[in-house]
Structure 1
Amino acid sequence: MSNLLIFNFNSTKAWSGWEIQNDVVMGGNSFSKLERSKEGNAIFKGYVSLKNNGGFASLRYRFALKDISNYTKAYILLKGDGKNYQFRLKSNLEEKASYVYTFKTTGNWQTVQVPLKEMTPTYRGRSLNIANFSTDEIQEVRFLIGNKRAENFRLEMSKIALK
């Protein structure tokens, strides 16, 4: 079976579906931005602040519902800064819970493999007592940094796909 491409940053200039969403929605002071590298990759970077009960920065992409019933893992080609990040999914935009997988970046290019069934449910940073990710469709992916410390961050991404 072929891969299901979610997004390839360097094959399109149309990034308008990607949105920054930081802790300012709840009074925090973190900031971030999305830039294009000279190679065409996405660079999500900024500063996470703990002021005013803040503590996270995120980048999300919403799209038409995709059937993922034949896929078991997400593969993300990226280069981080040695920090931990979260990859999050939502099966539909009406759902309150996000399903989260935390990964550590190495400072080098790496392919992060995310077993979908290991993604755990959360809502506003709190774990939920419901089953891990088990749906057959998705409508949102998100990257989030929120390591409970004030810090600069930089995450460069090339491609997101399911296998």
Structure 2
Amino acid sequence: MNAESEPLEQPATALMPGTVALEFYNPEHFSLVQLVHDTVMGGRSEGSVKAVSEPAGLRFFGNLSLANNGGFASAEFKLAKALAPHIYRSIKLNIAADGRQYQLRLKTPYIPQGVAYVADFNSTKDKQSYYFTPADFNGRYRGRLVTNLPELRLADVSHVSVMLADQTSGAFSIVLYSISLSPAQAI
């Protein structure tokens, strides 16, 4: 995974043929946003999602608490429609964040409940594009590595989430603009 600065407002014509661009704020792209925090296990972290403009996106923000063995907060987005059955080779995530380490988490119907394909990334305090390939992801369940999962096929992704679990208590904020999947190695 690597991060490179570039403008987030690219015309649709700049996308490579076969690329799927999904905007986090667009209900035609994501049908459901679910917040899942450590409170499900007694923790005290909290978070919310709020629409922002210029450029349009969703801000996921709150407070990460390590109390009561807590320490994670996440926002999960369900795709409104299945992805076209292409071979996607890379992902580009467009965000603006607070400099903390986050996780990009992908779920497919072919893995057990609670398991996700996870890639960690260190955010910066600027708008950034982060690039991933399937090789950047590994299976995890409650922070533990899971092996013997099916190979991650990006066309099978049904849910996308961003999680904060960096073991640092305090306020957090990340603005999610878009995520793109491309048949090329780099978008």
Q: TM-score, normalised by structure 1?
A: 0.88
> Which of 13, 16, 19 is matched with 1:3 structurally?
19
Counting strand residues as a fraction of each chain, which structure ranks higher?
A: 1
Post-superposition shift, 1:151? Answer: 1.9
Match of 1:162 in 2: 181
- In 2, distance between residues paired with 1:131 and 1:27? 29
- In 2, distance between residues paired with 1:66 and 1:13? 15
Post-superposition shift, 1:129? Answer: 2.6
> Which residue identity lines up with residue 162 of structure 2 in the other structure?
F
- State yes or no: 1:49 paired with 2:49: no
- State yes or no: 1:141 paired with 2:160: yes
Structure 1 outlier segments of 4+, above 6 Å: none
Contact 1:99–1:132 (8 Å) recurs in 2:
no
**More displaced 10-residue stretch of structure 1: 119-128 or 84-93:** 84-93
Contact 1:72–1:117 (8 Å) recurs in 2:
no
Post-superposition shift, 1:78? Answer: 0.6
Cα distance change, pair 73–132 in 1 and its aligned pair in 2 (3 A): farther
> How high is the sequence identity, in percent, across the aligned residues?
25
- State yes or no: 1:100 paired with 2:128: no
User: Secondary structure at the residue paired with 1:66?
Assistant: coil
> Which of 40, 62, 66 is matched with 1:25 structurally?
40
Post-superposition shift, 1:60? Answer: 0.2
User: Secondary structure at the residue paired with 1:117?
Assistant: helix
Post-superposition shift, 1:74? Answer: 1.1
Post-superposition shift, 1:114? Answer: 1.3
Post-superposition shift, 1:133? Answer: 4.3
**More displaced 10-residue stretch of structure 1: 127-136 or 108-117:** 127-136
Contact 1:28–1:53 (8 Å) recurs in 2:
yes
Contact 2:63–2:172 (8 Å) recurs in 1:
yes
> Which residue identity lines up with residue 90 of structure 1 in the other structure?
K
- In 2, distance between residues paired with 1:153 and 1:56? 11
Post-superposition shift, 1:128? Answer: 1.4
> Which of 90, 96, 99 is matched with 1:79 structurally?
96
User: Secondary structure at the residue paired with 2:83?
Assistant: strand
Post-superposition shift, 1:150? Answer: 0.8
Contact 1:31–1:47 (8 Å) recurs in 2:
yes
- In 2, distance between residues paired with 1:148 and 1:21? 16
Query: 5+ unaligned residues in a row in structure 1: which ranges?
Result: none
Post-superposition shift, 1:162? Answer: 0.5
Q: TM-score, normalised by structure 2?
A: 0.78
Deviation per CA, 1:6-62: give whole Å up to 9, x if none: x3145x367651111111111110000001113221111011101111100000012
